[in-house]
A = this chain, B = another copy of it.
Amino acid sequence: MKVLVILGHPDKNSFNHAIADTCRHQLVENGHSVVFHDLYEEGFNPIIDTVEIPRDGKVDETIKSHCDDLISSDGIVIIHPNWWGQPPAILKGWIDRVIRPGIAYGFEAGDNGEGTPIGLLKANIGLVFNTSNTSEVRENNIFKDPLDTIWRNCIFDLCGVKQFDRRMFRIVVASDLVQRIIWLNEVETMIDKYFPTNKI
C-alpha cells in the first residue's frame, strides 16, 4: 500500500516527531511505501487565496503535488498536537488547500456546493495521532473532543475514507521516557493493525 503521512509540529524534538518516525519505520518494515510531509520542515504555506478556492481555481505546483499524493494514497496517517481542539495552523492550511473540490470530494451535476458532497478519495483508512496536555475527563466533558468529529466526520468520512481510528496521547508535558516508549509501542501496534505486513 501507498501511505501518506502528514506531520504538523514545529519542534523536531517533539513527541509528535517521534510518533511520525515510528509510523514511517513500521510502515516500511511492513512492506508499504511511505510519502511523508513534515509541513514545518517543508515551509508549507497554509494561506489559501480567493483565486485558489473554486473547483477550477488556480493551484500552484506545490499544492498540485500534494493533491497527487493525496489521491494516490491507499491510507492516510495524520500526526499533530491538540491546540485549541484543532490542528496547528500549518496543518489547517494543508486541509484548506489540499483537500480540494474535484480532488477529495465533488458534487452532483447541478449542485453548486449547497448539497451533500461525494467523497472521491480512494484511501480506505484514515489514522490520526494526537498529543494533548488536557485530561481525558476534561477533554470529553468540557471540550467535547472536537478533533474526533473534525477528522472522523467532517474530513475523512466526507471524502469517502470510511475506516477511521484515532489515538490521543496525554498528558504529554508530564510524561516520562518510559511512558513515551509504551505509547510508541501503541503506535506500532496501530500501524500493524491497519497496515499489516504485505504478503506477496
Q: A interface vs B, CB < 8 Å? A: 10-11, 40, 46-50, 53, 83-90, 92-93, 95-96, 99, 112-114, 116, 133, 138, 142-144, 146, 149-150, 153-155, 157, 171, 173-174
Contact of A171 with B86 at beta-carbon distance under 8 Å, contacts A10-B50, A47-B46, A149-B146 already known? no
A53 to B13, CA, bound (A): 14
Q: Specify the chain B residue showing the minimal Cβ separation from A49.
A: B10
Q: Are B10 and A86 in contact (CB under 8 A)?
A: no
**A153-B149 in contact given A47-B89, A138-B116 (Cβ < 8 Å):** no
> Are A85 and B146 in contact, with the CB atoms below 8 A?
yes
Choice from B50, B92, B114, B143 contacting A154 with Cβ under 8 Å: B143
- Please indicate the chain B residues that have their CB under 8 angstroms from the CB of A154 in the complex: 84-85, 143, 146
Give the Cβ gap from A104 to chain B, nearest Cβ, in Å.
11
Residue of B nearest to A96 (CB): B89
Chain multiplicity (copies): 2
Contact: A88 with B92, CB < 8 Å?
A: yes
16 residue pairs from A and B, CB less than 8 Å apart: A11-B53, A46-B89, A48-B88, A84-B92, A84-B95, A84-B99, A84-B150, A85-B146, A85-B150, A86-B95, A88-B92, A112-B173, A114-B171, A116-B138, A143-B154, A144-B144
A10 and B85 within 8 A (CB): no
User: A88 with B96: in contact, given A50-B10, A53-B10 (CB under 8 Å)?
Assistant: yes
